[in-house]
Amino acid sequence: MLAFSGDLDAPALGVLEELLLDPRLREPGAWTLDMTGLDHIDLACAYALLRTVTRTPEPVALTVRGARPSVHRTLRQAGLDTVAAFTA
Secondary structure of 22-63 in HEC code, one letter for each residue:
CHHHHCCCEEEEEEEEEEEECHHHHHHHHHHHHCCCCCCEEE
Q: Which of 74, 77, 81, 72 minimizes the C-alpha distance to 53?
A: 81
Instruction: Check residue 73 and give its pLDDT.
Output: 98
3-state secondary structure of 49: helix
Q: Digits of tens for pLDDT over the chain (88 positions)?
A: 889 999 999 999 999 988 888 877 767 688 899 999 999 999 999 999 999 888 887 888 999 999 999 999 999 999 999 999 999 9
Instruction: Check residue 55 and give its pLDDT.
Output: 86
Is the whole model's pTM more than 0.85, yes or no? yes
How many other C-beta atoms can be found within 10 angstroms of the C-beta atom of residue 46? 20
Instruction: Check residue 60 and give its pLDDT.
Output: 85
